[in-house]
Amino acid sequence: MPSVMLAPTPGIATFLKHLKHNPVDASIENFVSLLKRRQIRSSRPCAIATTHLLLKVVATFRDRDVAKLVERIRSVGQQLIAAQPREMAVGNIVRRVLGLVREIAEDDADENPDSTSMGDSGYLPYSNLEPSGLPTHFSNFSPPKHGSALPQKSGLSQSDSNGGDDNSGQGAVAVEKQLDRRPPLLTSHTSYVASAMAPQVTSLFGLLSHPHTPSPTATPPLGTQSPVMKPGLTSRVLATIPDASAAKVDIKAEVLEGIRELLDELDQADDQIAAYALDHIHSNEIILTHTSSTTVQRFLLAAARKRKFTVIHAEAYPNDYLETHATIMQGRQKSAVGDDEDERWSPLTALGITVIMIPDSAVFAIMSRVNKVILSPHTVLANGGLVAAAGALTIAQAASVHKTPVIAVSGVYKLSPVYPFDTEELIEYGDAGRVAEFQDGEMVESIEVVNPLFDYVSADLVDLYITNLGGHAPSYLYRIVADHYRAEDVNL
């Protein structure tokens, strides 16, 4: 056989393979060109690829200076974002990782005030910025809830709202993680509750060091800080003190650990979201959804196991209709990410759900009969608005006319701290050939064909967001943003 193993068309799979075998700079370049060529597109693949890339960037980073590490990640992030600014998930992940590094660095500095290893420059500017930044403000705002939540594990927020079996799985993961060197700190990086805590800690330090002390050595010694903290936190800090000698080396290891957890989060986000399905989808409801989305599909599948309802699927012509058809027929997109075949993929119809596919133009007509609209955003913005596949705005507006609730299901990784000052900028314009046939020469010659890939749906058209952390009102999203991203990272 003449070379059966033909070089596959580049995409996320080849990128991940490439990442394993090549120097990191080549991989960055590879990712940049894949983004430019749109061979990696849509939020989840972008997020996964970015996380893997940053994992490698951090792993190959040789310098011990945290400030330089931050600078490095930031510069990589800038390249990636410049390549395709409309894939916001890339920027989100970069910001998450930056926040992670800063947090670890700050914790580390707090624990070892004498240690000079992390570099004054790396740490100080941020702690000075802190008091005026968003996170400080909000974490001061409502400390009790988060404070009390802290000693628990990452599965916490799920365990509040959903049943046992899912939580046990989570718990197992968490316990496994806990066996690592510094369990409480590590698990806290990605969980929003815990990370909400982190700014709080630093902000308290910030408050204490507020008189603009020029160097960390001038901050009050450790002993004076600990009483300020909650009991759980103290124990954590105490537990880490013996490790202080190894702290220099550990920063990187911790960051890597944190990034891996981020990967886990990406992996589990859909499951976690799906766990809320039964709270929102009731028997005999008519649900309208749009385009093909793994998240929505799993959400509906989770509900379909227990309840009978009807799904109306708008096909999202001309950009995603083939994927939509595939989702309806096979239950998954043609170009599913990752090679692990999930056996749970089956079309909704296999579970006895009636699925009706309609063209986008029929949305308004049918809206009067719809009980709920479920949207899957491309990006969620800090103001509560969202960017989703073209057609979403029509649906949202039709729903608002009929007072039908609109629910957006999205992992936290899609949540961007960027405020949409110019909504035009968010919208990508795609291949005009999908709208009008390129074959038609006269048409091509004389008509301007526009094919927007996305719609911007403003916050007032969305009623509820369901993320892997639970349900939130659009007006509450700024809080999650503040909990996940550092103010200094918002503008990379």
Residues forming contacts to another protein in the complex (CB under 8 A) are 1-10, 14, 23, 25-26, 28-30, 33, 36-39, 82-83, 424-425, 429-434, 437-442, 444-445, 448-449, 451
Question: 44: closest CA among 36, 32, 52, 54?
Answer: 52
Q: With 0-12 CB in 10 A as exposed, 13-18 as middle and 19+ as buried, what is 339?
A: exposed
Q: Which is nearer to another protein, 25 or 176 (CB)?
A: 25
For 52, the 3-state DSSP assignment is helix
Q: Nearer Cβ to another protein, position 180 or 431?
A: 431
> Rounded to the nearest whole angstrom, what is the least distance from the CB of residue 9 to another protein in the complex?
4
The letter for the amino acid at 198 is A
CB of 18 to another protein, least distance (A): 9
Minimum CB–partner distance for residue 448 and another protein (Å): 6
Rounded to whole angstroms, the Cα distance separating 431 from 450 reads 8
Cα 61 to chain centroid distance, Å, stands at 24
CA dist., res. 347 & res. 324, Å (int): 12
- Least Å distance, CB 433 to another protein, is 5
**CB 91 to another protein: min, Å:** 16
Using the minimum distance from each CB to another protein, give the nearer residue, 79 or 140: 79
The residue among 87 and 110 lying less far from another protein, judged by its C-beta, is 87
Query: Using DSSP, how many helices (H) and how many strands (E) does the chain show?
Result: 22, 11
Asked if residues 135 and 199 have their Cβ atoms less than 8 Å apart, the reply is yes
Neighbours of 278 (CB within 10 A): 15
Q: In what helix (H) or strand (E) does residue 91 lie, and over which residues does it extend?
A: helix 88-111
84 vs 41: CA distance, rounded Å: 9
Closest to another protein by CB, 419 vs 429, is 429
Report d(CA 49, CA 27) in Å as an integer: 10
CB nearer to another protein: give 286 or 444.
444
Question: By 3-state DSSP, what share of the chain in percent is helix, strand and coil, each rounded to 5?
Answer: 60, 10, 30
User: Minimal distance in Å, beta carbon 81 to another protein?
Assistant: 12
- Distance CA(321)–CA(5), nearest Å, equals 30
Least separation in angstroms between residue 38's CB and another protein is 4
CB of 30 or CB of 295, closer to another protein = 30
Q: Which amino acid is at 161?
A: S
Q: How far apart are CA 145 and CA 139, in angstroms?
A: 10
| Paired tokens of 76 | 């990589």
Q: In what order do the strands lie in the sheet with 377-381?
A: 415-416, 377-381, 386-389, 454-457
Q: Which is nearer to another protein, 114 or 440 (CB)?
A: 440
Contact 160/148 with Cβ under 8 angstroms? no
In whole angstroms, what separates CA 326 from the centre of its chain? 25
Q: What is the DSSP letter of 40?
A: S
Least distance (Å) from another protein to the CB of residue 277?
A: 35
Q: How far is the CB of 411 from another protein (least distance, A)?
A: 25
Between 228 and 322, CB nearer to another protein = 322
Q: How many whole angstroms separate alpha carbon 284 and alpha carbon 275? A: 19
73 versus 303: smaller Cβ distance to another protein: 73
Q: How far is the CB of 338 from another protein (least distance, A)?
A: 19
